[in-house]
Amino acid sequence: MKPSSYILLLLFVALLAGCSNNSKTKNSTIVTGKEKSLVQETVSAEGGEIVVDKPGDPLDGFTIKIPGNAYDDDQKFIVTTAPITEHKLGPDFHPLSPLITVANGGAYSDSVMILSIPADVPKGEFAMAFLYDDETGKLEGMPLLASDGKKVVVATNNFAHSSKSGPFSSVAAGIEEPDPEAVNKIIVASAKESILTGKYDSGFRPGVDDIPSPNLGSCYQPGGVCSGQSLAAMWYYTKKKGKDGPGLYRFLDNDGKNPTPDFSLDDARAIKFSSMMQGTFFASAVPKVPVVVLEAISEAVLPESATRNAFAFAIKMTQEPQFVGINKGVSAHALIVYKVDGDTLYVADPNFPKKTDRRIVYNRAEGKFASYHSAERADLPGTDYIHFYYFAKSCLFSWHKGNDFWEAMEEGTLGKGKFPEFTVMVLNKDDEFVPLTDGFETGEDGVVTLSVRSPGFENKFWVYDGNNKSIPVESSMCKLPPGEQQLGIVLLDAGGYWAGFKRFKIKVLDDKSSPGTMQEGEARVFLKINGNDVIFDHCPFRIDGKSFSILGPKEAIEKQGDNFSVSCSNFSGVGQYNDISGVWNSYTTPPTGSFKSTLSGTMTVSKFDDGNFVASFSFLGAGGDIFGGVKVDGEIYYRKQ
């Protein structure tokens, strides 16, 4: 904690004594009586335990366990309570504790802190702990570790859910620095278990409110982004969407441009937002559900019926989706529970965007959940998960970072420093690599040579067309059909994980629109007929689309003199052709006769631009009485006058 924050916290402590907490905002749903101090204690960086030892007090036995190295320096904890005099949370909400306020300066810890809260739970009721926000009047569940009728045990890595002063909230504002007035206001409440078997719906829906891209990881989070996707979707739904706002799925699909629901590699904002939220975990951005939390929960004795009840009670009281962690051994995954209907939890699984048929089912007869089949990433073999945990939302993650990431998205800086900057280069007609931009024109052969530059980042790339179909790339070259084309470039790291996406509009010129394309003319041709030189002038040639033909000389054709012809049907400019047809007709030059070659000759075009055409050809013509045919070699020269 910074010195200035520490001084403000001490001032807060001094002002606390004798304060009343019964002030109300227009959205308040809980009214309290006079606030009193319960405990003030400093815990060193080595960790410790805060214990309330006040026989007769409703919170006698209240504890906070702070692991070693949870904070870098000493932390002063202040715990106060205020009796609840009335509430507007409905007849099914039964407060069992006073309103508990815990403050320690608002800093996020690097480990899980465990709170044990005394609670005398009536028979036939289920109890859990909620966070309360004075400004909004809303509740939020806390990750449940135990609920045994005498106490409720929960986990958190921060006491920064709201602000002591009410209107200002560092969490809501997305402030990075700890807020010395930040607090957690906690209440333990119960509901009849019979009530919790009903149907409770948050309104969240896959295909509307989830992330559009499947959980495949990224160069920043190669292990997967299931938790990041779940957190990002819940954050947007509860903090940004509002009553009539757009769903996140459509907002992030193809970055909000023309929808591409069956193609996710262009969902750059979605992948970056999920990856950055994945990195908010206190345990150094672990790739899946926080392992430390699972270890803590595995030590708790929590019947699976209580986990089922927690989801039902939380959705009933908040009308918001809830975070569920699942695991089997070392394999772990994260999802969103958005509706509870009896013993069925409806889940949005990041591995299956927009799918509404995913369920976790509680078997009441056996007192446990049936296994749920999914995977750590969408591209990995599946696992039958058997353990299920209620993680709530903001207690275990830097929830407020969602605001920061969203602002960065709007500014175009989301993922900066975590995802590489890259430039797509293309070979132009002058054999120079230049940055690829919209409107780039390539020759009628449709060949595009690409180079993707990402300084300091080893990459490879995939190419997709406007229909999001993969285009083969060989030696950095790909071939496109004529006309207006879209080119999608997917950047990958050396391990094949997504690192970026860019789309370009380019034009592949056809034969008739190619600059400098000559349609017809008369060329000079030097021939060798079985080694004998023949020179023809005024040889007409014509280019019509992909068709090339030359014959001549013109006067010989008219008078039935010696003449030749060469043609091909796949002409595309400068290059090598191995399937030309040729004919040599000799009336005076031995050997006489008509000699033909069909699609077996070769031609090399070395120059083809505005006003110039240079090519050489060769074919072996069969016919007449000559065994082995006639060898015809030629050179074509044309310059526009």
CA atoms within 13 A on the CB side of 606: 8
- By the 8 A CB rule, do 157 and 166 touch? no
- By the 8 A CB rule, do 97 and 115 touch? no
Tell me if 416 is assigned to some domain: no
Q: How confident is the model at residue 147 (pLDDT cuts 50, 70, 90)?
A: very high
272: phi then psi, degrees, rounded to nearest 5 = -70, -45
Same domain, 116 and 61: yes
Tell me if 414 is assigned to some domain: no
pLDDT attached to residue 449: 95
pLDDT attached to residue 187: 98
Torsion sign, CA atoms 441, 446, 449, 453: positive
Strands 113-118 and 63-66, by their bridges, are: antiparallel
pLDDT attached to residue 245: 86
Same domain, 89 and 146: yes
Tell me if 398 is assigned to some domain: no
CA dihedral of 554, 559, 563, 569, whole degrees rounded to 10? 60
If one compares 509 and 46, the residue with the highest pLDDT of the two is 46
pLDDT attached to residue 443: 81
What CATH number corresponds to the domain at position 160?
2.60.220.30
pLDDT attached to residue 610: 66
Report the alpha-carbon distance of residue 279 to residue 293 in Å, rounded: 16
pLDDT attached to residue 600: 83
Q: How far is CA 478 from the centre of its chain?
A: 26
4: phi then psi, degrees, rounded to nearest 5 = -60, -40
What CATH number corresponds to the domain at position 626?
2.40.128
Count CB atoms within 10 A of the CB of residue 483: 11
Does position 292 have pLDDT exceeding 60, yes or no? no
Tokens read off for 215: 């959980």
Average pLDDT over residues 249-268: 95
For 555-578, how does the pLDDT look when each residue is reduced to its tens digit (9 = 90+)?
887 777 899 999 998 888 888 888
Most confident of 174-183, 437-446, 468-477: 468-477
Q: How far is CA 283 from the centre of its chain?
A: 21
pLDDT attached to residue 296: 54
pLDDT attached to residue 531: 86
Torsion sign, CA atoms 494, 497, 502, 506: positive
Same domain, 238 and 289: yes
Q: How confident is the model at residue 628 (pLDDT cuts 50, 70, 90)?
A: low
pLDDT attached to residue 85: 96
For 401-412, how does the pLDDT look when each residue is reduced to its tens digit (9 = 90+)?
899 999 999 999
Average pLDDT over residues 362-371: 96
Count CB atoms within 10 A of the CB of residue 611: 11
Same domain, 95 and 206: no
Same domain, 22 and 119: yes
Sheet strands side by side (includes 151-156)? 48-51, 63-66, 113-118, 151-156, 144-147
Tokens read off for 371: 């296994």
Q: Domain boundary residue among 486, 508, 530?
A: 508
Mean pLDDT of the chain: 87
Tell me if 413 is assigned to some domain: no
Tell me if 575 is assigned to some domain: yes
pLDDT attached to residue 302: 84
Torsion sign, CA atoms 466, 471, 477, 483: negative
3-state SS record for 566-619: EEECCCCCCEEEEEEEEEEEECCCCCCEEEEEEEEEEEEEEEEECCEEEEEEEE
Q: How confident is the model at residue 398 (pLDDT cuts 50, 70, 90)?
A: confident
Report the alpha-carbon distance of residue 194 to residue 582 in Å, rounded: 91
> Which residue segment(s) compose the domain that 35 sits in?
3-192
Peptide bond into 122 cis (omega under 30): no
Same domain, 474 and 384: no
Residue 386 buriedness (CB in 10 A; 0-12 / 13-18 / 19+): middle
For residue 524, the one-letter residue type is R
Same domain, 318 and 371: yes
Express as a percent the part of the chain with pLDDT over 90. 66
Q: Which of 137, 102, 113 is CA-nearest to residue 16?
A: 102
Report the alpha-carbon distance of residue 140 to residue 186 in Å, rounded: 9
Radius of gyration of the chain, Cα coordinates, nearest whole angstrom = 37
For residue 526, the one-letter residue type is F
Report the alpha-carbon distance of residue 311 to residue 334 in Å, rounded: 14
Report the alpha-carbon distance of residue 419 to residue 498 in Å, rounded: 9
Q: Which of 138, 134, 62 is CA-nearest to residue 93?
A: 138
Q: Domain boundary residue among 457, 486, 508?
A: 508
Express as a percent the part of the chain with pLDDT over 70. 88
Tell me if 407 is assigned to some domain: no
Tokens read off for 187: 């209440």
Q: Is 464 left (phi over 0), alpha (psi -120 to 50) or beta?
A: beta
Report the alpha-carbon distance of residue 609 to residue 472 in Å, rounded: 29
Same domain, 504 and 558: no
For 53-76, how does the pLDDT look when each residue is reduced to its tens digit (9 = 90+)?
999 999 999 999 999 988 999 999
pLDDT attached to residue 7: 37
Q: How confident is the model at residue 287 (pLDDT cuts 50, 70, 90)?
A: very low
Q: Which of 576, 570, 580, 627 is CA-nearest to residue 601?
A: 580
Same domain, 328 and 230: yes
pLDDT attached to residue 574: 81
pLDDT attached to residue 90: 96
Does position 512 have pLDDT exceeding 60, yes or no? no
Total count of domains within the chain: 4
Tell me if 335 is assigned to some domain: yes
Q: Which of 80, 147, 92 is CA-nearest to residue 118?
A: 147
Report the alpha-carbon distance of residue 20 to residue 35 in Å, rounded: 5
Same domain, 162 and 236: no
Same domain, 72 and 159: yes
For residue 375, the one-letter residue type is A
Does position 517 have pLDDT exceeding 80, yes or no? no
Q: Which of 60-64, 162-166, 193-197 has the lowest mean pLDDT?
A: 162-166
Does position 339 have pLDDT exceeding 80, yes or no? yes
Q: Domain boundary residue among 478, 508, 538?
A: 508
Tell me if 417 is assigned to some domain: no
pLDDT attached to residue 173: 33
Q: How confident is the model at residue 3 (pLDDT cuts 50, 70, 90)?
A: very low
Q: How far is CA 179 from the centre of its chain?
A: 31
pLDDT attached to residue 530: 87
Angle at 378 between CA 376 and CA 381, to 5 degrees: 70
Same domain, 23 and 168: yes
Nearby residues of 542 by Cβ (< 8 Å), 6 or more positions away = 519, 520, 548, 549, 550
Q: How confident is the model at residue 176 (pLDDT cuts 50, 70, 90)?
A: very low
Count CB atoms within 10 A of the CB of residue 71: 22
